Structure 1
Amino acid sequence: MPGSTSSTLFEVRPVSGALGAEVHGVDLAHLTDAGFAELHRLLLEHLVIFVVGQQDLPPAAHVAFGRRFGEVELHPYLPRLDGHPEIVVIDSDNGGKVDIWHTDMTFHTSPPLASILQIVQCPPVGGDTVWTNQYLVYEQLSAPMRDLLDGLTAIHVIRIGNEFTSRAEHPVVRVHPETGRRALYVNRLFTSHIPQLTRNESDALLDHLFDFSEQPQFTCRYRWRSGDVAVWDNRVTQHYAVNDYVGRRLGQRVTVLGDQPAGDPPRWPHYQAVPGQRYWPSRTNAVENY
């Protein structure tokens, strides 16, 4: 659980009681198999780990580290580093500010397993990132609420301009494939609606879940230093880039492809409105029809 400082190879400093840990004494450019196994274990324990002091990490080593977890993604929408198409460039001077809670790319049928972000340049003040522990969020919901959510799915979409370019349906509660623990799996940026409910019911329930999951007791907040590398488990976290700074914030990210989220099968079919029945949609990313 978060809070442990035990490690066979590295110095580990927890960031908060909910999740997150700094890891010291790592050289990602020359990582041994034993070192990777220990980082993988720490990631499953703390959900997001911050590997400090990696200013000399070459792009090829960044990509190679990502490939230890699995196949890396070529992102279809974001700018990439010249000569290294596996690395996405996140530049605040070029629209790289995502100050809304989200889990990366849940609009895919198989969303990413992990993201590996190095901050190359950060402002002198501000520009922190905040993560949530979605295990804790699920576990602290009431038993009747957990029972309801275990039987629901959610639609996740992305809009590019006026077009919906990708759409996926996932369990509202995801079972982590490595730990077997359950986590809430909806987010403000990409979750459109719960298709087993009416749109009004779905909006009300999702608004409650979003607000509940973003409470401070479920979070850690990290103050970046140039060269720091964050690795987070995209299957069980959300994150938020705090837009409170002046100056440039520049990062380079490798994304590791994941599997199709698994959970309990839905207990109800998709809701079918009575002919002529209409609802007032409130979600800004909502699709027209179920």
Structure 2
Amino acid sequence: MTTKTPHADGFRRFTLTPYNPFIGAVVDGIDLGETTGEEVRADLRRALAEYGVLFFRGQTLTPEQQVDVARIFGDPDKAKAYFKRHDSNRLVELIEFTPGQPGYGTDQWHADITFSANPPTGTVLHARDVPSVGGDTAWASGTYVYDRLDPALRAYLETLEAVHSIEHSGWPEWFRTQPNGEDLYRQARAEHLPVVHKVVQTHPVTGRKLVYVSPNFTLRIRGLSRQQSDALLTFLFGLFEKPEAQARWRWRNGDVAIWDNRATVHYAVTDYTEYRLLHRVTFGEDRAF
């Protein structure tokens, strides 16, 4: 991603202000519950592709409206994880924490559900009840990481593929905390055998290349020894930890974050002890890349 100007030009139907130089933008002057015009929807799609993650303050969305927002960007009936679903709309997942319950293991850098052969291309996350302090989410740009690699290393990485697996995530431990957890986990493993994705992908909208690995799901690089694979992945994972690659958002009730699951990874910070509830809708396409 290239550095953006303090106020982005070319978006006539809302105000867009870059959040950090290389990732993220805050969108003002729009009610997501009323985004019916195709022109504003096209602008939102373009903004998401350019900035990787969009932030909106003070939104009031019903579950049905949140699903409609997801439809601006893709099909909300694509890959889902194993979170609880909303009673009134099964396309809405509940990211809920109650003090004393086990976590989901999302406090690692990851793109969502890359253990699927066709991962979702993005997510709409709506803050419903957030802690008074803590509980931020951070995003990092895979495009930024690629752009800062040595050209020779870029060329080498473009020849590689990585194995992504549900077993290499926080889900196995979460399943084991549930009633009939072992049976649920065996079913999940059968439904999601390890899959292979290119280490470097080309974004189908921007045409820009990006690094597509993450600690939470990427198991190993094919064709390398375990030692070589671990060393290369550790190096790549570390690049996402550079502050320059990141945007960290402090949630307020009513906030919405929409991110491109192809071009970014994210990290749910678990530094809070209060109740927390967010509604999540993933969206996708027939092919992510």
TM-score, with normalisation over the residues of structure 1?
Answer: 0.85
What residue identity is the alignment partner of 2:272?
A: Y
Structure 1 Cα separation of the partners of residues 145 and 230 of structure 2: 19
Residue among 40, 45, 51 paired with 2:50: 45
Residue among 59, 62, 66 paired with 1:62: 66
Residue 12 of structure 1: aligned partner:
16
- Point out the more displaced range, 225-234 or 242-251: 242-251
Whether 2:236 is the aligned partner of 1:236: answer: no
Structure 2 Cα separation of the partners of residues 222 and 106 of structure 1: 23
Q: Is the 8 A contact 1:154 1:192 kept in 2?
A: yes
Shift of 1:45: 1.4
Q: 1:110-129 to 2 correspondence within 5 Å? A: 110-129=118-137
RMSD: 1.6
Shift of 1:77: 1.6
Q: Which runs of 5+ in 1 are unaligned?
A: 263-290
Q: Which runs of 5+ in 2 are unaligned?
A: 173-184
Shift of 1:96: 4.7
Shift of 1:259: 4.6
Structure 2 Cα separation of the partners of residues 127 and 148 of structure 1: 37
Structure 1 Cα separation of the partners of residues 285 and 120 of structure 2: 4
Residues 108-148 of structure 1, C-alpha deviations (whole Å, 9 max, x = no match):
11111110000111111111111011111011011111111
Shift of 1:67: 1.7
Residues 201-234 of structure 1, C-alpha deviations (whole Å, 9 max, x = no match):
1111111110122211111111111111100000
Residue 107 of structure 2: aligned partner:
99
Q: Is the 8 A contact 2:79 2:284 kept in 1?
A: no
Structure 2 Cα separation of the partners of residues 35 and 260 of structure 1: 24
Structure 2 Cα separation of the partners of residues 68 and 48 of structure 1: 15
Q: Is the 8 A contact 1:115 1:232 kept in 2?
A: yes
Whether 2:32 is the aligned partner of 1:28: answer: yes
Residue 285 of structure 1: aligned partner:
none
Q: Is the 8 A contact 2:129 2:277 kept in 1?
A: yes
Q: Give the 3-state SS of the residue equivalent to 1:115 in structure 2.
A: strand
